[in-house]
Amino acid sequence: MKRRFHRGRDVRRACSIDELRAMARRRVPNFAFEYVEGGAEDEHSLRRNREDFDGAAFLPRTLVDVGTCRQAVTLWGAEAASPFMIGPTGFNGMLAHEADLALARAARAAGVPFVLSHVSTTPLERVVAEAGGRVWMQLYPFRDREVARRLVARAAAAGCEALVVTTDCPRFGNREWDKRNYRAPMKLDARNMLDVLRHPRWVLDVLVPHGVPRFGNLDDVLPPGQNSARNAAAFLSRQMDPSLSWRDIGWLRGIWPGRLVLKGIMVPEDARRAEDHGADGIVLSNHGGRQLDGAASAFSMLPEVAAALRPDTVLLIDGGFRRGADIVKAVAFGAHAVMLGRATLYGVAAGGQAGAERALTILREEVDRVLGLLGCPDIAALDQRYLRRGAPAASGPAKVQAAMAGAG
């Protein structure tokens, strides 16, 4: 009998993130799924983010008491129940009604932080007030610095724990497969309009009676009556700032009172400069393969960057994480925690808050199982001795072995 994923709607039946992905693909229209799924240009970076995990193989210990395995980690003195969090993703309301709130509530229930996107469809004040938990705020440093100043002030007033500044978007990445779904900016072509009609559950949840989602954190910077998704998208394209520099990071450090995290760091030199400019943490990231095609994976650079940082700097990472085994490998190579992007978006797209909670449950259970099979009862004891770098990849590409062999 041919293997296949569960074909129903009950997210509790999903056994893996890939199975939630299949459910999400059936529930949401093609254009919405492509927005989540796709990468830049030929998608080399997108594929590399997954392939490079195969270049590290586990070295399990045996005859170790693993009756109870501890996976909690400490970030700036506060405990997170698992070595992951939900990272910032924009325009989530396109996947499910009030998806930002659903994701934040799922994170709170799992005891892990949630990072709200600057371009979320729910205002940050509502997320903090209604979801609770550890909420961090992501910022795009737009060309108009007053926009940044306003958001920083709002995040501080709301009580956000950390400000996560995305540094790798001086220009938009060229996401060709996403563009092909539109005949004009934010106007679907005929094929995709017909496809929307084939997804009545999504239509009733997202469009009726709520209408096209709007960018909840941009209402105070867009002209009155001009806060539609189309106008907001045009505003965002004008606000990308190619002149962004370390000088601007110093300015943000001066106006933000909380923890400062720089997202989009990829090399040790930039990691050290981030520390010198007052960053409390960094996110090793190639933006999920959605910006510069041909970039190295964050995972391949992890050991080298980890070795360059001070012990008190929180090192986070994203890009391609689909299994608890991927998360455990990242922690063994020096990451404090992983930021999840597509993994939890598949969950919320498949089933709202219940789907997001199922995604986090799957990963938590996988981390626990991997720690037990690895013979490591406490994640704090993980290090590179539990991994073999340069191990033959499952698919056998020489480039994966070379990337891991040169990772430090």
Taking the C-alpha atoms of residue 253 and residue 263, their distance in angstroms, rounded to an integer, is 14
Which residues are part of the catalytic machinery?
Answer: 287
- Candidates 114, 77, 94; CA nearest to 27 is 94
Helix, strand or coil for residue 45? Answer: helix
Taking the C-alpha atoms of residue 30 and residue 188, their distance in angstroms, rounded to an integer, is 11
Question: Given the DSSP bridges, would you call strands 281-284 and 314-317 parallel, antiparallel or unpaired?
Answer: parallel
CA distances from residue 103 to 26, 250, 349 in whole angstroms, order as listed:
20, 31, 10
Region of 294 please: left (phi>0), alpha (psi -120 to 50) or beta: left
∠ CA(279), CA(283), CA(285), 5° rounding?
140
Neighbours of 313 (CB within 10 A): 18
CA distances from residue 274 to 49, 305, 363 in whole angstroms, order as listed:
23, 12, 30
